[in-house]
Amino acid sequence: MGSIAIGGLPIGKVHCVAPAGDRCGEGAVWHPSEKAVYWTDINRFLIHRYDEETDAVNSWFFDEPVVALALTERDDTLLVALASRLILWEPQTDVRRDHGFTLNGWPKVRLNDGRADPLGNFWVGSMRNNVNPDGSPGAAGGTDGVLYRIDSANTHTVFRRDLGIANTLCWSPDLTRFYHADTLANTICVWDYDAKTGAISNERPFFAGFERGYPDGSAIDSEGYLWNCRFGGQCIVRIAPDGTIDRIIEMPAQNITTAVFGGNDLKTLYATSAGAETHAGDRLAGSLFALRTQTPGLAPYRVRL
């Protein structure tokens, strides 16, 4: 295992790098200078770190569900989306500070998927809270979700309401498109993205009704293809910019939740998974997986502070 093994994997070969047993692994982000992947387990209130060179996995506990992560302009500091608020966290010292944004409606609703955009804003969606105080699963549903953009002045802007589960936040390489999913509607939409203002407009369907599970998190590669993780579908589907299916990657776990490109060449796709809502024979459920690709991804964007 480690970086030599991952780099030497055949193209398309899926490798389990961390059988973490996550109830709901999510929030994967690649940290280039550390050569590491950070990700979360929402229901166990955890952040994990996988070191690509040593295979070591470290974990930290938090006081509520951890749903998303983003790099910041400070290399030693991550932006962490908890269920109810944002915080700034320094992994090396475990220092945690309030960011300032808190979610209206918590605990009826909670934050979900979140990513930094090319301008350094943080985008995050919400959903009906399906995590009980002890971490056990509750019921999702309804259309309580909202899509927010939060800037460096801590001003938040609402761009979409009435979402079931807000998921997937990706920008095309030419910075003209923004992709966003509603998991419960089984729909990924595309918007026009204004790279000068960071605003989105002209929402329209992009990929809908695919029968293999439901759209969860996504990553985008340098050719503008969207790699969408399918919760319940045991696969990742690579979707062309015109909305057609380029290929389907079969995965060794049922619930694939989100993905990020990493490695020195950005040709390793790391994918998280969930052990919840699965069966006893799904032995690798909740693991972190790695997949070597021919096309590199995009370097991660960072939140401006």
User: Each residue of 247-275: b (16+ CB within 10 Å) or e?
Assistant: eebebbbbbbbbbbbbbeebbbbbbbbbb
Taking the C-alpha atoms of residue 171 and residue 224, their distance in angstroms, rounded to an integer, is 9
Residues annotated as catalytic (active site), given as ranges: 216
Q: Please state whether the peptide bond connecting residue 107 to the residue before it is cis, i.e. omega within 30 degrees of 0.
A: yes
User: Alpha-carbon distance 86 to 139, whole Å?
Assistant: 23
Q: Which residues pair with 46 in a beta bridge?
A: 41, 61
- Specify the residue for token string 């969606």: 125
Question: Cα angle vertex 178, ends 125, 102, to 5°?
Answer: 25
